[in-house]
Chains A and B, each alone.
Chain A
Amino acid sequence: MTVPIHYFLVLAAALFATGAVGFLLRRNLLVLLMSIELMLNAVNLTLVAFNRLHPANHAGQILSFFVIAIAAAEAAVGLAIVLAFFRLRGSVRSDEATALKN
């Protein structure tokens, strides 16, 4: 393969940074969940790239397979929580979640 492995690692790092910055900046709960998905995808890409560098077994690919399953479960539960929160407050802004504040 001609493209060196660290190009994929830098791409994954940039993707993770984008997701983390979005998680810090945005206050829409839906966009926060999508930022989490971006970060999980970046970790998956790193795992697969390192598995290409050490191809004795498929440990990285299988671990990212499990990460995909967990991300799907997280999206389902997170979106259910967003719906319940919307029913409670009529909004999906994360700074409206103040029930535990006082």
Chain B
Amino acid sequence: MPKKIFILAEHKKGALKKATQELLGVAQGQNVSALLIGSEAQPAANELVKKGVQQVFWVKDRAFDSYHPEAYATVLADLVQKEKPELLLGTASSLGKDLIPKVAARLDIPIVTDCTEFKISPELKIRRPFFSGKVLADVVFEPAPLVCITVRPNSLAAGEVSSTAGSITELTPSFDFGASPVQFVNRTQASTDRPDLTEASIIVSGGRSLKSKENFKFLFDLADVIGAAVGASRAAVDEGLASHDMQVGQTGKTVNPNLYMAFGISGAIQHLAGMRTSKVIVAINKDAAAPIFQKANYGLVGDLFVMAPLITQEFKKLLHKA
């Protein structure tokens, strides 16, 4: 019998996020409803419906466009209580990591976050990293009527629930934003058009041997040719060569791309922990004995200042951008 599943769907400027499509894929054949918030989200709502989500609850009110923990939690918790799903599903994104736990606490239900392997049928199978992926745990819930799960982006194949289209229900929740002790002030502009590290399918990453902030240009140039995000090791961040939001590792971001290219990164345990689930790892380092080579699929001993521009050129040729 299909399970009743409720998905917290996400969009970016109206486009359904790939991470949400990954949740649809894992929920194939199940009875799925979803919540989508945002005045621009109509295209994403249409896509959810087309991909077999039976009921899409869409909050169109502009007042809800910016994330407000209390307002969003009220909408989601009310829906979950009304819809009574067996499973509340979200992405381990900025939104999912904030909203799903808040709702889980409000309803006092079990939660497992940031799963990297996940199956719903024939029975729940959940695997998630601990210690930033130094070990992986198979998690089994004690029996409960409702559980929450968030999934790491790029862990599952994108897909659809079914070919039977559902329908959109517009919601008009009331929330007194003015009376809330939390006021959204504004949001800074993204400093870059490059994808976010946690969502990127390709990452180009640099270590301390880049020597200066300016030298990261070698990596940015390469990244822009192949549509990659740019990351950095803790050593590079601590020495001011790269900003905090670029740090990959146990005290930075845990990433999960298809391709991770490490330039001049030696491979400290805490860095490896943050990128080891990458599908393909390339290590480029002057030091043939660097530990990163033990974890890489492809290794190349060489000077990164020579290699990065050459590799950029080769990709340009391949992608006909030269």
Co-assembled chains A and B: no
Chain B residues with CB under 8 Å of chain A are none
